[in-house]
Amino acid sequence: MHTAVKSRSRSTLVLYDPNALATEFVRQHLMAIQRHSRHDVAFAAATFDCRADFPLELFDALIVHFSVRMPFETMSPSFVELVSKFSGPKILLIQDEYDMPRKACTLIRKLGISTIFTTVPKPFINRFYPPDEVPNVNFRFCLTGYVPDELPFELATPLSARRLWLGYRGRKLPVWYGQLGFEKSTIAQRMRAECIARNVPHDIEWEEDKRVNGSAWFKFITSTRAMLGTESGANVMDAWGDIRNDVLAMAKAHPDLSDDELYRRVVAPHENNVIMGQMSPKIFEAIGLKTALILFEGSYSNVIKPDEHYIPLRKDYRNLDDVLKRLADVTDLQEMVDRAYHDVIESRDYGYHRFVCDIDEAIEQAGILGPPRERRLTFALVRMDGQNESWSTVTPHLPLTAPISLRSAPPPDRLLTGRARDLWLKVPEKVRTPLSALLGPPARRVKALLRQ
Instruction: Give the pLDDT of residue 426.
Output: 67
**SS3 for 235?**
coil
Instruction: Give the pLDDT of residue 427.
Output: 74
Domains of the chain (ranges; CATH) run 3-146+351-393 (3.40.50), 153-346 (3.40.50), 418-451 (no CATH)
Residues of the chain whose pLDDT is less than 70?
Answer: 1-8, 367-396, 406-415, 417-419, 421-422, 424-426, 429-430, 433, 437-438, 440-452
Backbone phi and psi for residue 161, each to the nearest 5 degrees, phi listed first: -95, 0
Rounded to whole angstroms, how far apart are CA atoms 318 and 192? 16
Three-state SS annotation for 352-377: HHHHHHHHHHHHHCCCCCCCCCCCCC
Instruction: Give the pLDDT of residue 338.
Output: 97
Rounded to whole angstroms, how far apart are CA atoms 282 and 287? 9
Contact 3, 322 (CB under 8 A): no
Rounded to whole angstroms, how far apart are CA atoms 245 and 261? 16
Instruction: Give the pLDDT of residue 4.
Output: 36
**Residue-level length of the chain:** 452
Helices (H), 9-86: 24-36, 77-85
**Pairing status of strand 224-229 against strand 202-205:** unpaired
Instruction: Give the pLDDT of residue 251.
Output: 96
* Contacts of residue 311, Cβ cutoff 8 Å, sequence gap at least 6: 226, 292, 293, 294, 295, 323, 326, 327, 336
Q: Where are the beta strands (DSSP E) in 79-149?
A: 90-93, 115-118, 138-141
Amino acid making up residue 395: T
Instruction: Give the pLDDT of residue 411.
Output: 43
Contact 244, 289 (CB under 8 A): no
**What DSSP assignment string belongs to 396-446?**
TTS-BSS-----SSPPPPPS--HHHHHHHHTS-HHHHHHHHHHHHHHHHHH
Task: State the sign of the Cα–Cα–Cα–Cα dihedral 407, 410, 413, 414.
Answer: positive
**What DSSP assignment string belongs to 266-314?**
IIGGGTTSS---B--HHHHHHHHTT-EEEEES--GGGTS-BTTTBEEE-
Task: For residue range 272-303, list pLDDT tens digits in order.
Answer: 999 998 999 999 999 999 999 999 999 999 99
Helices (H), 199-258: 216-221, 242-253
- CA dihedral of 294, 300, 304, 308, whole degrees rounded to 10: 40
Instruction: Give the pLDDT of residue 408.
Output: 42
Give, in order, the Cα–Cα distances in Å from 186 to each of 99, 204, 206, 237: 22, 11, 9, 21
Instruction: Give the pLDDT of residue 272.
Output: 95
Contact 176, 59 (CB under 8 A): no
